[in-house]
């Protein structure tokens, strides 16, 4: 029988085996982490989270750092604690892989954190002429992001922990190499990005758009002289006289504008504007906000002032805006004006005298006989020039695209 060297059938008490070394691969270390009591991230409600545990303690994509072990109620032991990394941190250990929700005492919810250290990730990019504005937009998005001044972050740049656990370009001349969290390998600023969504958004469907726009009915102010009761946006037989002039404006450009709130760039395009009555839209310069102002025959408009004839009945002004009114805002339009008294007083058009026709994108003001409204201003929540085909992860106010980062922790 063959013999193997260094093999003995007799057990000796010279020591014990030592086989444990590798716990897991390093891209996502298999370690239990709990959220530190020192975590300063502002909790927020995430409606797509698990039922009963939708309060986010540390958001997906945020850079995290380790702190001293803390007591874990579930295991009864001291466990490594993590928190959203502080600006300029040298103790960052990686990026939070998914939302970590707040746990309830003695409740089976919340989940544990997973920290990724060497993955290739993509986060939305927020840029502005001033860093503070870009920083604020990235914070408002709540999830992991990168920010900086316009066109500052470039492929090859190293990134560090910025404000609110987000990524910021490393200052190679002044920052410590221990602050490096990763390296940007690609920066996307062309919107929409190339791909299937861009192809799909260029498909034509003008008939559907025209049909949807024809479904709106604006409450009529009532008959006023010779004009139609629902002037000017009434049922078809009341608007044939003016419709050709505004046909392109009503029907639109005829291209597919994306799936609402998903691929239409809606959230990135939200903007609040204060609009004067004479703020007409100029197609050449793309400046201005109002396509048309159409008063009933008893109403006179001079600059930003509205005057109603003393013997008028059922007077109204129809103000068609160029940019779509934001349908998801609870108060998308507020109309303010000054009285014509010797001592003018600021007032707001009452709710029953204000109507928003979303389909025709029109603000309707109903007026009393003899009314005088000075310096009329429309405060409107608008969707300004949305870009269809933007991925949902990039669709936030202030986002200019995305940056892809190779983590190096």
d(CA 161, CA 176): 12
| Residue with the two structure tokens 């003695």 | 106
Regarding whether 348 and 204 lie in a shared domain, the answer is yes
Average pLDDT value for the chain: 85
Model pLDDT, residue 74: 84
Regarding whether 137 and 237 lie in a shared domain, the answer is no
Regarding whether 88 and 185 lie in a shared domain, the answer is yes
Regarding whether 67 and 143 lie in a shared domain, the answer is yes
In a domain, 305, yes or no: yes
Stated pTM of the model? 0.75
Q: Is 128 within 8 Å of 137 (Cβ atoms)?
A: yes
In a domain, 316, yes or no: yes
Q: What's the whole-number mean pLDDT along residues 70-78? A: 89
Asked if residue 160 has pLDDT above 70, the reply is yes
Model pLDDT, residue 159: 97
Regarding whether 225 and 250 lie in a shared domain, the answer is yes
Stretch among 84-88, 133-137, 244-248 having the lowest mean pLDDT: 244-248
In a domain, 17, yes or no: no
Asked if residue 171 has pLDDT above 80, the reply is yes
Asked if residue 204 has pLDDT above 50, the reply is no
Regarding whether 246 and 379 lie in a shared domain, the answer is yes
Q: What's the whole-number mean pLDDT along residues 128-157? A: 96
Regarding whether 362 and 248 lie in a shared domain, the answer is yes
Regarding whether 116 and 31 lie in a shared domain, the answer is yes
Model pLDDT, residue 252: 44
φ/ψ of 43, rounded to 5, equals -65, 150
Asked if residue 143 has pLDDT above 70, the reply is yes
Asked if residue 237 has pLDDT above 90, the reply is no
Regarding whether 324 and 179 lie in a shared domain, the answer is no
95-107 pLDDT, tens digit each: 999 999 988 776 6
Q: What's the whole-number mean pLDDT along residues 244-263? A: 55
Model pLDDT, residue 214: 57
d(CA 96, CA 231): 56
CA distances from 51 to 59, 95, 143, 276 (A): 17, 25, 20, 46
Q: What's the whole-number mean pLDDT along residues 163-168? A: 97
Model pLDDT, residue 206: 57
Where is pLDDT greater, at 37 or 257? 37
Q: What's the whole-number mean pLDDT along residues 59-63? A: 96
Picking from 230, 327, 220, 332, the residue whose alpha carbon sits closest to that of residue 275 is 332
DSSP state of 324: P
| Residue with the two structure tokens 């629902």 | 230
364-376 pLDDT, tens digit each: 999 999 999 999 9
Total number of domains constituting the chain: 2
Regarding whether 291 and 205 lie in a shared domain, the answer is yes
- In which domain, by residue range, is 119 found? 23-191+390-409
Model pLDDT, residue 238: 43
In a domain, 164, yes or no: yes
Asked if residue 248 has pLDDT above 50, the reply is no
d(CA 149, CA 126): 8
Model pLDDT, residue 19: 83
Asked if residue 241 has pLDDT above 60, the reply is no
- pLDDT classification of 48: cutoffs 50, 70, 90: confident
Q: What's the whole-number mean pLDDT along residues 158-166? A: 97
- Percent of the chain past pLDDT 90, that is, above it, reads 61
Give the E-state strand segments of 132-255 in sequence order.
Answer: 146-149, 158-161, 167-169, 180-188
Element holding 258 (H helix, E strand): none
Where is pLDDT greater, at 358 or 95? 95
Regarding whether 259 and 124 lie in a shared domain, the answer is no
In a domain, 8, yes or no: no
Where is pLDDT greater, at 17 or 283? 283
Model pLDDT, residue 14: 65
Where is pLDDT greater, at 330 or 133? 133
In a domain, 18, yes or no: no
Q: What's the whole-number mean pLDDT along residues 394-408? A: 94
Asked if residue 229 has pLDDT above 80, the reply is no
Regarding whether 166 and 219 lie in a shared domain, the answer is no
Where is pLDDT greater, at 68 or 388? 68
Q: What's the whole-number mean pLDDT along residues 273-300? A: 93
Where is pLDDT greater, at 75 or 213? 75
d(CA 256, CA 223): 38
Q: Is 115 within 8 Å of 82 (Cβ atoms)?
A: yes
321-357 pLDDT, tens digit each: 999 999 888 899 999 999 998 899 999 998 889 999 9
Model pLDDT, residue 125: 97
Stretch among 27-31, 62-66, 92-96, 233-237 having the lowest mean pLDDT: 233-237
Model pLDDT, residue 210: 58
Q: For 155-224, where are the alpha helices, taking DSSP H only? A: 196-201, 206-213
In a domain, 12, yes or no: no
In a domain, 15, yes or no: no
Asked if residue 318 has pLDDT above 60, the reply is yes
């Amino acid at each position: 029988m063959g013999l193997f060297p260094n093999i003995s059938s007799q057990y000796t008490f010279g020591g014990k085996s030592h086989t444990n070394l590798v716990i897991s691969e390093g891209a996502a270390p298999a370690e239990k982490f709990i959220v530190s009591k020192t975590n300063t991230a502002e909790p927020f409600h995430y409606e797509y989270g698990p039922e009963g545990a939708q309060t986010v303690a540390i958001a997906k994509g945020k850079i995290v750092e380790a702190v001293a072990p803390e007591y874990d109620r579930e295991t009864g032991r001291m466990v490594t604690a993590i928190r959203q990394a502080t600006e300029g941190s040298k103790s960052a250990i990686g990026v939070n892989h998914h939302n970590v929700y707040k746990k309830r005492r003695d409740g089976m919810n919340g989940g544990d954190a997973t920290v990724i250290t060497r993955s290739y990730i993509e986060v939305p990019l927020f840029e502005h002429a001033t860093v503070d504005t870009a920083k604020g937009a990235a914070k408002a998005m709540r999830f992991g992001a990168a920010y900086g001044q316009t066109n500052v972050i470039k492929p090859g740049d190293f990134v560090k922990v910025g404000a609110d656990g987000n990524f910021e370009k490393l200052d190679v001349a002044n920052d410590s190499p221990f602050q490096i969290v990763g390296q940007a390998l690609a920066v996307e600023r062309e919107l929409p990005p190339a791909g299937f969504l861009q192809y799909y958004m260029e498909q034509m469907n003008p008939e559907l758009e025209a049909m949807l726009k024809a479904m709106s009915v604006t409450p009529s102010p009532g008959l006023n002289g010779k004009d139609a009761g629902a002037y000017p946006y009434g049922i078809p037989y009341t608007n044939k006289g003016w419709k050709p002039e505004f046909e392109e404006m009503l029907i639109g450009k005829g291209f597919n504008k994306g799936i609402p709130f998903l691929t239409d760039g809606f959230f990135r395009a939200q903007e609040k504007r204060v609009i004067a009555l004479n703020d007409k839209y100029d197609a050449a310069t793309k400046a201005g906000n109002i396509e048309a102002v159409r008063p009933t025959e008893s109403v006179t408009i001079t600059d930003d002032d509205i005057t109603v004839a003393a013997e008028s009945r059922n007077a109204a002004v129809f103000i068609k805006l160029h940019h779509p009114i934001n349908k998801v805002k609870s108060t998308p339009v507020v109309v303010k004006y000054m009285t014509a008294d010797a001592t003018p007083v600021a007032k707001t058009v009452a709710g029953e005298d204000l109507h928003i026709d979303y389909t025709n994108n029109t603000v309707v003001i109903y007026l009393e006989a003899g009314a005088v409204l000075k310096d009329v201003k429309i405060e409107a929540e608008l969707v300004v020039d949305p870009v269809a085909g933007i991925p949902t992860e990039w669709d936030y106010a202030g986002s200019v695209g995305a940056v892809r980062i190779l983590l190096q922790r």
